[in-house]
Structure 1
Amino acid sequence: MELLFADDEPPLPGSDVPSPSIPPWKMLVVDDDPEVIAVTRLALTGFEFLGRRVQILSAHSGEAGREIFEREPDIAVALIDVVMETEDAGLRLVEFIRSGCDNHTTRVYLRTGQPGHAPVDRVIRDYDIDDYKEKTELTAQKLRTLLYSGLRAYRDITALQRQRDGMRRVILATSDILRTGSLREFASAVLGQLTELLGLRDTAIYCLVLPAQAAGGRSARTLAASGSLVQFADQGALDSLPPAIAARFQEALTRKESLHGDKDYVLYHRSFSGQENLLYVELTHPIASHERELLELYAINVSLTFENLSVMEEMQATQGEVVGMLGDAVEQLGTSSAAHVQRVARVSQALARAAGVDEATARLILLAAPLHDVGKVAVADSILLKAGALDPDEWAAMKAHTELGAELLARSRREVMQIAATIARGHHEHWDGSGYPSGLAGDAIPLVARVVSLADAFDSLASDRPYRVRWSDEQIRTYLQEQAGKRFDPQLVALLLGDFARYVALRAEVREA
């Protein structure tokens, strides 16, 4: 073993002291000779790479090596003896690492004291290894050189894998969040993925600065924040951020370029529409050029997504206003107030969320619910405004508003109108099958119709009508309990009554004009 120390050199003076908070690189030494393992440990005493020490794991057989790989998937480098309990134990272990564990990131180096048992050319050709050395070749310095090379390769391979996985997550996040129409959710998701991807601290913040308006200066919008900055996620002006970060953002805006510091990185990107994107991340180490490129890609991605979502949000807002005004107009024809449809819409959205409906559908319900009684435009005022009981012909005309409204709305191919048609047709169906127009029962009634039916009754009973005075909240609670399983979906009633105070408060937020 003397040759192992032939070229050993002391550590260079002034070398950085590794931080104890940074996890070490993991190295596995598999050899049936305890002295080889001991000498390897001694030769690598004090070794560090990129500020991280090396944790040396050891095994005395191929079988024991298997157990360690099953337990420790993040081994960076493995030094494996070929001949141990069998003449090919090391080769079998390599096969297990690559095929059994599907591990192609660990850098594997074979060592042998009996080269004749496994010829070098055949082993390198047939096995996925990085090198094959005789034990007498590995002096201490060569062992260190091998480890530097192996760790660099492992670092680069895992970085590429993280980038690939990160880009996949970014693409999936883009697709998912675009369906919900929430830029804040998108930015938060991708921000978390990015900091994990680059091995950064989880302290980061993303801001958007909109172009100056004619009536005032530029406005800022914080889209996402994490770590110690999460409390600033909903802030607007840059001067509401921590002074050091606000100063860095202002510097980037003035210079119109990204800023590279030892402890932080500020990314600057200007979109075609003039909006300026600012991303601040706290660094654990200086970032490489390919990591900067990924940060740039992130900013461009969020910037383009923001522009697309801004257009979509504007269209949805316009659509919502038109639907709301139409619903208000219908209600004013009858006995309800204009605020009724707004309250029904908001309660319906909240109830749909509680029932497990995804955010995109819940928003569509918010937009569609005001049109639940649109068919009443075809019902005579004498019927709508009648204070007494309706005769059979009048009641038939009143009930027809469900199908009339559904037929009117179904002419549109827009998703929100299709949902509105479903609601219009089904919001007077009863859970027990006693409703109209089709006498549907239970789950045969579309969920969106069941939700709006309950929300409509919840608000209507709290409002004055020509034929009755408003009910108290306690009367409404009792009535809903009695009608659970009869008129209303019992599970939806349980959700509403289980959080009754919140729904009462939500109803109160929209007041009469």
Structure 2
Amino acid sequence: MSDTFLFAEDTDEKIEEQKGEWKVLIVDDEPEVHAVTKLALNDFVFQEKSLSFISAYSGKEAKELFHQHDDIAIVLLDVVMETDEAGLEVAEYVRNELHNNFTRIILRTGQPGQAPERDVIVNYDINDYKSKTELTAQKLFTVVIASLRSYRDIMVIEENRQGLEKIVSASANLFTIRSLESFIEGIIQQLSSLLGGTKDAAYITSAVAGPKPIDLVTQDEFYVFSGKGEYQGCEGALLEDVVSGDELLACKKALKNKTLVYGDEYVAAYCQGKHTSGSLLYLSGVPRCLNQHDKKLLEIFSDNVQIAFDNVLLTKDIEDTQREIIERLGDAMEKQFSIGKHIQRMVEMCKLLAKDYGINEAQIEMLKLAVPLHDVGKLKVPSEILNKPGPLNDEEKEIARKHATIGYDLLKDSRRQIIQSAAMVARDHHEHWDGNGYPRGLKGEDIHIFSRITAVADVYDALRSKLHYKDAWPIEQVLELFKQARGKQFDPRLVDILLNNIEKIEDIQKRYPDPI
């Protein structure tokens, strides 16, 4: 260690404020090695970040520190410590057990013969191999710089990948407001990675009043829709409540002038919308001064991100319109057939059954929209049959059963997935698990799960309700019927779910009572 230290000379350059630290783990059983390494790299700075040193004096201690710190950039790892291969065991542990492929591993050994370089490089996923005798201050500086550059680039790629993953995942499922939040979260994560990482970021818009519901608000009110870092968990908060001082003035300037405003450590980017009044991307903790390439990239990003957001809003608006039409139609049918809150109870029961069955959230949302139309075919069944006070004769039963096919025919030609699902449920919710149902005599899993769930909820609610031709059955009698019909009329797994959740099912009955 005889070389002159690179950073020991005085300079006239202005000392810039540090913006974070790079964590370096020193693993060596010789305290002198720790002291000399820290001295050699004492005033090291890379991308305006200094080094933060963590010391471990054994392989075991190093493994424990990797559990405590998931952001170690470099590990300077001795090979021979408590055992001849302790360092190699740490390297293998980091890569194969912790699955940490980010940290740059630099092996340092005072006994190269015990761990030949060629064998180590081939058999272990390390990034450099140095003999302690050759690792002078200058060479230590060089290897640390090279390793930090690699670590920085790998982390940017990883953050970029995570952002893309969120965007792809959200774009595949736009049924719920949650996926809209995920979409925006992915967008700001992408932007952060493009700029080399930021500490905090927020997407602020006047198009929403918090995460739900999506409603237009006054044009002067801007709310946090999604955020990371300091702004994570601020969804629904006013701009003025989360940003203050010069940063708030910059945000207001960006909104007023419809432009981008750059500060020393923050950016406020206006995003022009076609269908909304526009939004704002606010980034703080920018890790470095932005060059012209960064600024151009940011401008392109802000121009296009609002288009994506507008499209998601339009999609959500279309779905909300579909939902409202279906709900209003369901309400009209309840009044037409004098069935009280039957549909509301069915929707809640179907949701419960579907969730326990393991159906994903998007499909549950689809089922909830399809269920209100399950008896739409009854609109074309004569009212004297539907409202007959006594039992139906065989001819009347045959006419009433046609409502399943009629409902399907009314809805089948739609290209909308929701309406197609409703058509299927309308047709098949009277099919039986054993094949003795109607109209097609389907059996078992040939009956779509939506129809099987609807069948259970429909029959349970009908039996537990007072109708014009019968009184409500006591719960004991209803449960006995379902036990007997398990594997015959109904999917046995759904019957088990019903029985295991009977208290929740009955709570739904109480929450949505029929009007007296």
TM-score (norm 2): 0.72
Map Cα deviations across residues 377-398 of structure 1 (whole Å, 9 max, x no partner).
Answer: 3321210111111111111211
Q: 1:470 to 1:217 in 2, by over 3 A?
A: farther
Aligned counterpart for 2:117 among listed residues 58, 80, 90 = 90
Other structure's SS at 2:112 match: coil
Written as runs of structure 1 = structure 2, the 5 A alignment for 1:424-463 is 424-431=426-433, 435-440=437-442, 442-461=444-463, 463=465
Aligned counterpart for 1:205 among listed residues 191, 202, 206 = 202
CA distance in 1, matches of 2:89, 2:379: 75
Q: 1:506 to 1:232 in 2, by over 3 A?
A: farther
- AA aligned to 2:318 is M
Written as runs of structure 1 = structure 2, the 5 A alignment for 1:394-409 is 394-409=396-411
2:59 counterpart residue number? none
CA distance in 2, matches of 1:68, 1:179: 46
Map Cα deviations across residues 391-450 of structure 1 (whole Å, 9 max, x no partner).
Answer: 111112112211232233333343223211221122223456554334555544321012
Using the TM superposition, give the Cα deviation of residue 57 of structure 1 relative to its aligned residue in structure 2, in angstroms.
Answer: 2.9
> Would you say the 8 A contact 2:370–2:419 is kept in 1?
yes
Using the TM superposition, give the Cα deviation of residue 364 of structure 1 relative to its aligned residue in structure 2, in angstroms.
Answer: 1.8
> Would you say the 8 A contact 1:169–1:193 is kept in 2?
no
Using the TM superposition, give the Cα deviation of residue 274 of structure 1 relative to its aligned residue in structure 2, in angstroms.
Answer: 4.8
Using the TM superposition, give the Cα deviation of residue 275 of structure 1 relative to its aligned residue in structure 2, in angstroms.
Answer: 3.3
CA distance in 1, matches of 2:296, 2:162: 13
Written as runs of structure 1 = structure 2, the 5 A alignment for 1:97-176 is 97=124, 101=125, 106=127, 108=128, 110=130, 135=134, 139-140=136-137, 142-143=138-139, 145-147=141-143, 149-176=145-172
1:132 counterpart residue number? none
- AA aligned to 1:84 is P
- AA aligned to 2:50 is G
CA distance in 2, matches of 1:36, 1:306: 57
Which runs of 5 or more structure 2 residues have no equivalent in the other structure?
55-75, 95-99, 209-214
CA distance in 2, matches of 1:504, 1:410: 31
CA distance in 2, matches of 1:151, 1:425: 64
Aligned length: 466
Which segment drifts farther, 21-30 or 495-504?
A: 21-30
Q: 1:263 to 1:354 in 2, by over 3 A?
A: farther
Other structure's SS at 2:172 match: helix
CA distance in 2, matches of 1:502, 1:279: 45
Q: 1:408 to 1:184 in 2, by over 3 A?
A: same
CA distance in 2, matches of 1:444, 1:209: 47
CA distance in 1, matches of 2:353, 2:113: 66
Written as runs of structure 1 = structure 2, the 5 A alignment for 1:180-199 is 182-188=179-185, 191=188, 199=197
Which segment drifts farther, 191-200 or 417-426?
A: 191-200
> Would you say the 8 A contact 1:410–1:421 is kept in 2?
yes
Map Cα deviations across residues 179-234 of structure 1 (whole Å, 9 max, x no partner).
Answer: 65741242245556776895544x543221249x9996455454224556455323
Which segment drifts farther, 357-366 or 247-256?
A: 247-256
1:303 counterpart residue number? 306
Q: 1:164 to 1:193 in 2, by over 3 A?
A: closer
Superposed CA RMSD in Å reads 4.5
Identity of matched residues, %: 24
Written as runs of structure 1 = structure 2, the 5 A alignment for 1:326-365 is 326-337=329-340, 340-365=342-367
CA distance in 2, matches of 1:388, 1:164: 67
1:366 counterpart residue number? 368
Which runs of 5 or more structure 1 residues have no equivalent in the other structure?
114-134
1:119 counterpart residue number? none
Q: 1:251 to 1:65 in 2, by over 3 A?
A: same
CA distance in 2, matches of 1:170, 1:442: 37
Other structure's SS at 1:395 match: helix
Map Cα deviations across residues 318-337 of structure 1 (whole Å, 9 max, x no partner).
Answer: 33344344444544443424
Other structure's SS at 2:377 match: helix
